[in-house]
């Protein structure tokens, strides 16, 4: 019997179709997997169920004693009232108070009653966890378990797990799954969102697959479902590493440094140190990636380097020159360019045409032919240089802002989550462009929250956690993924 039905749900963000006509039941007592590659719409669907977004079309139906009721959640508070709780990749805890106080706040009961509830949750699910410690002393793994205990203590009917286990160490993941299974055996439902197929095959009773916002497959356990079957549904074409890395030991070390930051401190919008003493060096001709769980200072690092946020400590050196106190425009003219995550926000000038945008930071003349060639190479559509940029879709705008780099020949570029808004074909194109820039001796600093993107193109990989670079790797050994994931969560 379904607990909840998603019925003909569609959701767009501007030109991006995040979900298109998705219909799916979540049954009582099942773990249903929601799979899809990055950008396929998983989190959007999860957030619609959780009341973060309202769908453009369609609705969510809840079944109370078998009787369907349309619900229109306009906030997570509404969803929580109806027994739906979500945990995601990033812990949503108040850092300065204890774990148990966090849970007390969430449950909205007296501390005395909260303690009793929490104790019974720990017993029921056989979880060992010290909840008296202040959250900011806990490891990432511990925090995710606090989130789990917090959610379960509420006695939800549906638990949405959006990539919350993706970065946990393997043995801990197994423990987490055991708890989810116990929860469903007691009648609860789990929507398990992941892009990892093996994980889903172990955990889920059924697997739903999204591709570009559409539900393209629904599989039940034991009906011949395998990694291959799910992978075929997830990807229109099997994606590969864009190009082999050239960070062989010989190359590494010989190349000269183009960008360096030292003990950099940059504040977030609330005045907290989002970048807190980070240091890293980028060499000409290499793609250096900074990877971390979302919210560990990536945005502030990028904006600090681009001159959109002040550095309140440390220094930034571009080609042997201290640029720490230069403004954004001066940094561009010195050869440091920035491609933001959201190209509509600061990537392009929307009221200018494609051609005008491409000429914007270019010192000499650029002929119409060159522009036509660039647009063709990048498969920008429509192929009309005189079109105003605001008429293009997000993916095409992102391509324009990267195309500009190719023409303006910077010394170094900082790129933030460049493929987040793109489909697979455009993503691969952008990744080859980054590779192309590096082979033209540009230093590329790729700041990303997507480990697959990073493993695809980077020559060196640095891990950012709580605003510090905590570890770095040369992208040669195939086994680095696990080590990187470990470093990402160690202090997060
Ligand atoms: N708040 C938003 N504003 C604009 N675009 C968004 C927003 N949230 C998601 N998107 C876009 O919608 C698509 C689906 O994103 P998402 O649901 O986060 O995918 P997934 O969780 O599968 O990686 C992507 O193209 C993404 O860039
Ligand atoms: Mg997601």
Determine if ligand 1 sits within 6 Å of the CB of residue 393: no
DSSP 3-state percent helix, strand, coil across the chain (nearest 5): 35, 30, 35
The answer to whether the beta carbons of residues 54 and 75 sit under 8 Å apart is no
> Edge-to-edge, what's the strand order for the sheet holding 321-322?
273-283, 257-267, 311-318, 321-322
Shortest-distance atom of ligand 1 to CA 14: 4
Q: How far, in Å, is the centroid of ligand 2 from the Cα of 423?
A: 14
Ordered by where they begin, the domains of the chain are: 2-234 (3.40.50.300), 257-347+411-490 (3.40.50.300)
Nearest Cα residue to 205 out of 215, 213, 188? 188
Answer for the pair 457, 283: CB distance below 8 angstroms, yes or no: no
Q: Is 41 in the pocket of ligand 1 (CB under 6 A)?
A: yes
Taking CA atoms only, the protein residue closest to ligand 1 atom 16 is 41
If one residue of 11, 13, 19 were mutated to test the ligand 1 pocket, choosing by the most ligand atoms within 8 A of its CB, it would be 13
Ligand nearest to the CA of 16: 1
- Residue 86 near ligand 1, beta carbon < 6 Å: no
Does the beta carbon of 398 lie inside 6 Å of ligand 1?
no
CB of 89 shorter than 6 A to ligand 1: no
Among candidate residues 465, 456, 442, 136, the one with its CA nearest the CA of residue 298: 465
pLDDT, tens digit only, all 492 positions of the chain: 899 999 999 999 887 899 999 999 999 999 999 998 877 899 999 999 999 999 999 999 999 888 999 888 999 999 999 999 999 988 899 989 999 999 999 999 999 999 999 999 999 999 999 999 999 888 888 999 999 999 999 999 999 999 898 778 778 889 999 999 999 999 999 999 987 888 899 999 999 999 989 999 999 987 778 888 888 888 765 444 444 444 444 444 455 899 999 999 999 988 999 999 999 999 998 999 999 988 899 999 999 999 999 999 999 999 999 999 999 989 999 999 998 887 666 667 878 888 888 887 676 778 888 888 888 877 777 778 888 887 777 677 878 887 887 787 899 999 998 887 676 777 888 888 888 888 888 999 999 988 888 988 999 999 999 999 998 888 766 667 888 888 888 765
13 CB within 6 A, ligand 1: yes
């Amino acid at each position: 019997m379904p607990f909840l039905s998603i019925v003909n749900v569609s959701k767009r963000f501007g030109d991006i179709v995040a979900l298109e006509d998705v219909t799916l039941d979540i049954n009582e007592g099942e773990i249903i997997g929601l799979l899809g590659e990055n950008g396929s719409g998983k989190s959007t669907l999860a957030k619609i169920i959780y009341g973060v977004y309202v769908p453009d079309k369609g609705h969510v139906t809840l079944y109370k004693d078998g009787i369907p009721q349309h619900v229109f959640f306009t906030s997570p508070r509404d969803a929580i009232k109806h027994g739906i709780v979500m945990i995601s990749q990033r812990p949503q805890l108040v850092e300065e108070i204890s774990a148990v106080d966090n849970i007390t706040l969430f449950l909205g009961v007296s501390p005395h009653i909260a303690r009793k509830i929490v104790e019974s949750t720990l017993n029921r699910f056989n979880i060992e966890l010290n909840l008296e410690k202040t959250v900011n002393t806990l490891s990432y793994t511990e925090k995710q378990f606090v989130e789990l205990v917090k959610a379960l203590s509420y006695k939800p009917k549906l638990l949405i797990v959006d990539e919350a286990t993706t970065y946990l160490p393997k043995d801990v993941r197994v423990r987490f799954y055991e708890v989810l299974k116990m929860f469903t055996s007691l009648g609860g439902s789990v929507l398990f969102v992941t892009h990892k197929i093996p994980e889903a095959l172990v955990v889920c009773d059924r697997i739903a697959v999204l591709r570009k916002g559409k539900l393209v497959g629904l599989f039940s356990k034991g009906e011949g479902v395998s990694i291959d079957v799910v992978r075929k549904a997830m990807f229109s074409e099997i994606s590969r590493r864009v190009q082999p890395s050239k960070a062989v030991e010989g190359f590494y070390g010989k190349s000269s440094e183009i960008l360096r930051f030292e003990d950099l401190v940059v504040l977030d919008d609330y005045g907290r140190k989002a970048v807190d003493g980070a240091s890293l060096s980028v060499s000409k001709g290499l793609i250096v990636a900074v990877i971390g769980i979302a919210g560990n200072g990536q945005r502030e690092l990028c904006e600090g380097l681009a001159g959109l946020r002040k550095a309140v400590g440390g220094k930034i050196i571009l080609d042997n020159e201290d640029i720490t106190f230069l403004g954004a425009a001066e940094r561009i003219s010195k050869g440091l360019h920035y491609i933001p995550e959201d190209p509509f926000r600061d990537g392009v000038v929307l009221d200018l045409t494609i051609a005008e945008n491409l000429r914007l930071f270019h010192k000499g003349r650029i002929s119409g032919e060159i522009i036509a060639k660039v647009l063709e190479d990048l498969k920008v559509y429509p192929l009309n240089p005189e079109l105003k940029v605001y008429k293009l879709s997000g993916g095409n705008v992102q391509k324009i802002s990267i195309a500009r780099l190719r023409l303006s020949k910077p010394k170094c570029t900082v790129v933030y989550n460049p493929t987040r808004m793109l489909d697979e074909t455009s993503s691969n194109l952008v990744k080859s462009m980054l590779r192309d820039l590096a082979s033209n001796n540009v230093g590329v600093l790729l700041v990303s929250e997507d480990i697959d993107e990073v493993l695809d193109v980077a020559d060196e990989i640095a891990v950012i956690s709580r605003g510090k670079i905590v570890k770095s790797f040369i992208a040669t050994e195939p086994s680095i993924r696990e080590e990187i994931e470990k470093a990402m969560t160690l202090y997060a």
